[in-house]
Amino acid sequence: MYQKIKEAANYMQRILPFTPKIGLVLGSGLQPLAQEIQNAVIAEYHQVPYMPHATAPGHVGQFVCGYIEEQPVICMQGRLHGYEGHTPESIVFPIRVMRAMGVQTLLLTNAAGGINTSFSVGDFMLIEDQINFTGKSPLIGPNDEAIGPRFNDMTFAFAPDLREKAKQAAHTCGIPLKQGVYIGVNGPQFETPAEIRAFRTLGADAVGMSTVFEVIAAAHCGLPVLAISMITNMAAGVQMQALSGAEVNATAEERSQDFRKLVREIIKML
Ligand code: HPA
C-alpha cells in the first residue's frame, strides 16, 4: 500500500511546481470553491496512479492544486463515498497521498443533516468530534507501519488549535459557527426518523455520509484535521417532511458564498 501511495504522490509532485500545505476536500454542493483556486494545476483522478474514480452526482473527480489566500492547497473536487461502492481503504487513499506530498493540515467540508434542534438549515457547524456509525474502518487489515501505528489515538483527531482558529476566522468574517458532533453513516438512503432520534440520544448533532473514514486515516498518519459541516437540511423527522438530494444541493448552493468566505478566512489563518 505504501508503495502505491508513494507512486501517486510522486506523480503529483512531478506535475506541481510547489508543495501544497493544505489539503481541502469539498463536500456536496461546495465544489465552486475549486474554481477560485489561482494558478490552478489540475490532475484528473484517472491520471493519478491507483486513484479511485468519483461517481457521486455533482462530484467532478479531479485534484485542483494552486493558491487560495496565497496558501498552497491541493483540493479534491469530487469526494469518494462508501455508497458508491468504494471500500473504506480506497476512500482514504487520496488522504494518504496528500500526507505523502507534504500536506500539513486537512480541511474537510461536507453537507450534513441537522439533528440538534437548535440548528437551522444553512448553519455551519465546526465538527468537534465524530461517531463512526458505518461499522467499518479504513484501518482494518494488516497495518503498514510506514503509514501509521496499529492502534492510533483519536482523542485529538480534530486538532484543538485548528478549531480555535476556525472560531476566530468565523468571528472575523461575521459568520456564525455552531459546534457539534458529526455521526457518519453509510447511506445512500437518508435515515429514518427513529434512527435520527437514536443518533440524538447517542450525542450526535449532525449526520452525513462522508468524512469519518478520512478523519480516521488522517489521525492514523498524523495529519491534523479541521472539519466543517454545512447543515443543508434538518435530519429525518425533525420536521415532518420528506428529504431529498435536491434540497441538499439547493441549500449548498444558496449558502455557497458565505461558505467560501468562511473557508477562505480559515485558510488565511492556517
Ligand atoms: N443525512 C445523511 N447525509 C446527509 C444529510 C442527511 O440528512 N444531509 C446531507 N447529507
Segment 82-100, tens digit of pLDDT: 999 999 999 999 999 999 9
Ligand 1 atom nearest to CA at 114: 7
Bond into 193 cis (ω within 30): no
Distance CA 80, CA 52 (A): 8
For atom 6 of ligand 1, the residue with the nearest CA is: 113
- Evaluate: CB of 110 within 6 angstroms of ligand 1: no
The confidence band for 80, taking pLDDT boundaries of 50, 70 and 90, is: very high
**pTM of the prediction?**
0.96
Q: Is the CB of 210 under 6 A from ligand 1?
A: no
CA 108 to chain centre: 3
**Residue-wise DSSP of 139-180:** T-SS--TTT--SS---TTSB-HHHHHHHHHHHHHTT---EEE
- Rounded to whole angstroms, the Cα distance separating 45 from 137 reads 23
Query: Could you give the CA distance from residue 58 to residue 252 in angstroms, rounded to a whole number?
Result: 11
To test the ligand 1 pocket, which listed residue (191, 207, 247) has its Cβ within 8 A of the most ligand atoms?
A: 207
Nine-digit cell string for 238: 425533525
CATH class of 2-269: alpha beta
| Helices 93-101 and 2-15, packing angle to 10 deg | 60
Please give the number of the atom of ligand 1 that sits closest to the Cα of 236: 7
Give the residue from 116, 123, 129 showing the smallest Cα distance to 231: 123
List the alpha helices (DSSP H) in the chain: 2-15, 88-91, 93-101, 160-172, 193-202, 212-220, 245-254, 256-269
Give the residue, 252 or 224, on which the prediction is more confident: 224
Distance (Å) from CA 168 to ligand 1 centroid: 27
Does the Cβ of 112 fall within 6 Å of ligand 1? yes
What type of residue is 57? P
Q: What is the mean pLDDT of residues 211-218?
A: 98
Condensed to tens digits (0 to 9), the pLDDT of residues 119-174 reads 999 999 999 999 999 999 999 999 999 999 999 999 999 999 999 999 999 999 99
Atom of ligand 1 at shortest range from CA of 234: 7
Q: How confident is the model at residue 7 (pLDDT cuts 50, 70, 90)?
A: very high
Look at residue 30 in the predicted model and tell me its pLDDT. Answer: 77
